[in-house]
Copies of this chain bind each other. A is one copy, B any other.
Amino acid sequence: MKTKLDYYRIFYETARFSSFSSAAQHLYISQSAISQCIHQLETDLGLRLFARTRRGVSLTTEGALLFEKISTAMEAISQGETIMERLRHLESGALSIAAGDTVTSHYLMPYLEKFHANHPEIRIEMANSYSANMVRLVKEGKADLAFINLPMEDEALTIEPCLEIHDVFVAGKNFRAKKKYTETEIAELPLILLEKNSSSRHYLDTVFSEKGAELSPQIEIAAHDLLLRFAAIHLGVACVVEEFSKESLANGDVQKLCLASPLPPRHIGCAYIKDRPLSLAAKAFLELIRGGEQE
């Protein structure tokens, strides 16, 4: 049971070549080595494995039985090595990312596209959820990376900010905006906000209540894009992320309201388990995000 495994590889090749000398050539070792190796194997196993004939060797009944098993073993190992090779060159593998819809479509999309272009054979798995849930996915190893709203603290995670975002208030184009709004004035507008369970909303409420203003929106919805759509048709004033609203702002569907003191910027961060190496695919994707030169 403690026979050198390397002997089996030699046995394998020798059996395939039916010759000590040609196997030796193929393995770049001397014929003598093969001879000794097989001899050793036969001694260890207590069985004759090869019948020595004038022209090379041939497997005995017992040797043939061993060869069956060793073949599958060697093939499995070879497969494993091939897989490792491919993994190393990112020609295979999987990338599992957890991120909210908004972040995915307005931020990650181009990176995903590029990553897929660079590594078309890597399967990309996206998981959509709330921040807390995404963190859980990462901790359970079900996702490599999670893109979440900061701030977020977790002992077990490395969290690095990757995008600065700005919360702005927008209204439809016919809305008559004042030059500047104070927090209190904003609070009096007919607001369209995200639902209370979202971290963005939670953040917003916190900021405003610190300024002594309570937000009581007329409309609460779950999707960022709908905020823009609702604002565009003058259902109210929405608080959106400027970076995720470029299109609507650019084509004039909505206008941005000026605040006396703009809301402090927030960050989108990328979270992954601290003491566990990222999969190569995840590492590569992270490099892409960071703006590093991709291989």
Contacts and interface: CB of A to CB of B under 8 A. Distances in A.
Contacts of A68: 80
A60 to B, nearest CB: 6
Contacts of A93: 61-62, 65
A124 to B, nearest CB: 14
A251 interface: no
Contacts of A48: 277
Nearest to A72: B76
A88 interface: yes
A81 to B, nearest CB: 6
Interface of A: 1, 3-6, 8-9, 45-48, 51-54, 58, 60-62, 65-66, 68-70, 72-74, 76-81, 83-85, 87-88, 93-94, 144, 275-277, 279-280
5 contacts: A5-B9, A6-B6, A8-B77, A47-B88, A65-B80
A66 B83 contact: yes
Nearest to A4: B6
Nearest to A58: B276
Interchain residue pairs A-B with the least CB separation, the first 9: A69-B80, A5-B5, A73-B76, A61-B279, A73-B73, A51-B276, A72-B76, A46-B88, A48-B277
Contacts of A83: 65-66, 69
B88 A51 contact: no
Contacts of A52: 275
A65 B280 CA distance: 13
Given A65-B80, A72-B73, 14 more contacts: A1-B78, A5-B8, A8-B77, A46-B84, A53-B275, A60-B277, A61-B93, A61-B144, A65-B83, A68-B80, A70-B80, A72-B76, A73-B73, A73-B76
A45 B88 contact: yes
A38 to B, nearest CB: 13
Contacts of A66: 80, 83-84
A73 B71 CA distance: 9
Given A73-B77, A76-B73, A280 B9 contact: no
Given A58-B276, A60-B279, A72-B72, A5 B77 contact: yes
Contacts of A79: 69
Contacts of A47: 84, 87-88, 280
Contact of A70 (B1, B69, B77, B276): B77
